[in-house]
Amino acid sequence: MATRILPVGAEAPLAAGSSNATTVGGATVVRVLATAGSVVVFRTDEDDVAIGSFTMMNNTAEMVEKYHSDKIYVTGAAVKIASVGNTQ
């Protein structure tokens, strides 16, 4: 079964570290792509309080749902993010 993705923003690199946390333009669904090694993806609220995290393996992509004001940041390198729409 093919995956359906509705791009609503340009893909961009995301540098590691909490100082690079982003709302991804206020997106509520974000595609995260890890292309070099495993990374930990963190979701925080608008006040930078951690909500949750998960580990992604090398060469994987995940969809992250969040509130528009929530932020995402990662540990590790070679991560790309893109705002996408919910197609389900």
Q: What is the CA radius of gyration of the chain?
A: 12
Look at residue 2 in the predicted model and tell me its pLDDT.
61
pLDDT confidence of residue 73? 98
Query: What CATH number does residue 52 fall under?
Result: 2.60.120
Q: Is residue 21 in some structural domain?
A: yes
Contact assessment for residue 24 and residue 81, using Cβ atoms and an 8 Å cutoff: yes
Give the whole-angstrom CA distance, residue 84 versus residue 26.
11
Domain that holds residue 13: 6-85
Provide the domain count of the chain: 1
76 lies in a domain?
yes
At 40 the pLDDT is: 97
* pLDDT above 70: residue 87: yes
1 lies in some domain:
no
pLDDT tens, 19-76? 999 999 999 999 999 998 899 999 999 999 999 999 999 999 999 999 999 999 999 8
Global pTM value: 0.91
